[in-house]
Amino acid sequence: IVPLVSISVVASLLLFVIDLIWPLLGIFFGSVLDWFMKSIFFFLEQFGEKNSVVIETADLSALSVILIYLFLVAVSLSLFNKMVRRIAIASALLVLNIGLTFSLVNAASSDEVKSHLDIFNIPGGSAIIVNQSLTGSPDLIITGVVSRAYPMDERIFETALSGLGVNKIGRIFVLSAEYGAMDDIVRLSNKFGVRELFVDERLSRSFHDIANSVAFFDEGVKLRTFSGKIPTNSNPGIYPSNGRIVITHETAKIFVVSDMNFEASPTESNKLPMAIVIGSSDNLDISVVEDLQKQGYAAVVCSKFVQSPSSFNSKGSMALIHSVDSQGPCRLYITESGTESFILKPIH
């Protein structure tokens, strides 16, 4: 389209000169230029509209784009060549069988991916990466984040996510955040191709202000809010509610909260092992840990726990606490057997 527009500009200037020299020739040249301009507008309407049918290549590798192009060329040639048509059909069947094989392998091993969460500290709280499957992009839960003078999307999130091999995020859930940190989350959403940005209802107005006032908010990111009670749906997934987020696994449930100001007792009957991830754990002490243990939580994951382990006076409480602290990114494993339901290990 761009070269055609350039040609039309040059032709318009040429028409002006021709019309001055020979008006009759100018009329003829103008009619030709008019047809040419209408053709350009036709192509713009067909291929230049926002909702036109195009092949998105942003998430594809260079090799994938080349293969798609070669496939389209082969399909075009097969319309007129019998041999090419046979080769195209045989290649398509081969690719479909290979794709089906990889899909079955991914489906068989998807439970291993779902059986752990990656957790790392951020200023004021924690960030949790939840892998739903091998093929899909992971989701990110952010809680307790506070503002900093430096860009946290570059200094904190990008560094941690790249170290964990994450280059694309499907959804982001924000449970709590200071106003000054919201623009960092918005920039993070743009950089990692986030489809949906879920924020707690209490943060909705502030996030909408950021989205409306800052030009870098990608219109492809859908801003949504969540509130209400914890859903009773037991299917595996992420369920945001008012003041907490529930991560449901086939064999366990994990509750994510911002700080110690939460209702510790689960609102629904639950027979699965439960863990709780506390974003800001400044006021966490042994009495709170013991209360959580009585509530039925098998593990408490926090950003830090400064109290000496010798102060643990309840049998089993020492194994209950999992502190991320300064270990760097950690992985919380959901075990299906043994005495411990959850194990937290540093990621080296």
Question: Which parts of the chain register pLDDT below 70?
Answer: 1-2, 46-61, 103-114, 132-135, 213-220, 228-234, 260-270, 281-284, 304-327, 336-340, 348
Angle, alpha carbons 156-157-159 (nearest 5°) = 70
The model's pTM: 0.62
Q: Where are the beta strands (DSSP E) in 31-159?
A: 116-122, 125-130, 139-143
**Given this model, what pLDDT does residue 229 score?**
67
How far apart CA 269 and CA 37 sit, in angstroms, is: 69
* Percent composition of the chain: helix, strand, coil (DSSP 3-state, to 5): 40, 20, 35
How far apart CA 159 and CA 332 sit, in angstroms, is: 20
How far apart CA 106 and CA 86 sit, in angstroms, is: 31
How far apart CA 191 and CA 172 sit, in angstroms, is: 12
Residue at token pair 């069947």:
93
- 225, β-bridge pairs: 199
How far apart CA 258 and CA 244 sit, in angstroms, is: 7
> Closest Cα to residue 306, out of 326, 285, 322?
285
- 240, β-bridge pairs: 245
3-class DSSP state of 5: helix
> Closest Cα to residue 144, out of 246, 243, 284, 276?
243
How far apart CA 76 and CA 225 sit, in angstroms, is: 47
323, 305 Cβ separation under 8 angstroms: yes
> Closest Cα to residue 327, out of 346, 343, 307, 309?
346
The separation between the first and the last C-alpha atoms of the chain, rounded to the nearest angstrom, is 51
> Closest Cα to residue 142, out of 112, 178, 92, 107?
178
CB contact set of 142 (below 8 Å; sequence gap of 6+): 122, 125, 127, 172, 173, 174, 175, 177, 185
